[in-house]
Amino acid sequence: MERRCIYCGQLKPKSGLIRVARLSNGEFEVDLDLSKRGRGAYICKTMECLAGIKKKRSLDRSFRTNVGTDIYSELEASLTEYPKPPAMLGGME
């Protein structure tokens, strides 16, 4: 199934995207394997889109709230660390 990148608006297969999930406790988390429950926003796994959403704070607009700067930093970091498995990134849950 394809999802739309919140930055560039392109439809891409999930394998080409990173997801940010809003957890039930209201916190935001980078969801590298697209498995977390909750509302999600998708961003292309490209530096252009990951750096672009940071500049434009597109996640804030998508979730209509302040998601915090950590998430943006984490997204950038996830791209440079990719393709390590998510477990290596210290994901919690």
Least separation in angstroms between residue 8's CB and Zn ion is: 3
> How many CA atoms are closer than 13 Å to the CA of 62, on its beta-carbon side?
23
CA distances from 21 to 5, 56, 81 (A): 14, 19, 19
If phi > 0 it is left, if psi is from -120 to 50 it is alpha, else beta; for residue 38 that is left
Nearer to Zn ion, 7 or 28 (CB): 7
Among positions 21, 30, 41, 49, the unique one binding Zn ion when judged by CB under 5 A: 49
41 binds Zn ion (CB under 5 A): no
18 binds Zn ion (CB under 5 A): no
Task: Enumerate binding residues for Zn ion (CB under 5 A).
Answer: 5, 7-8, 44, 49
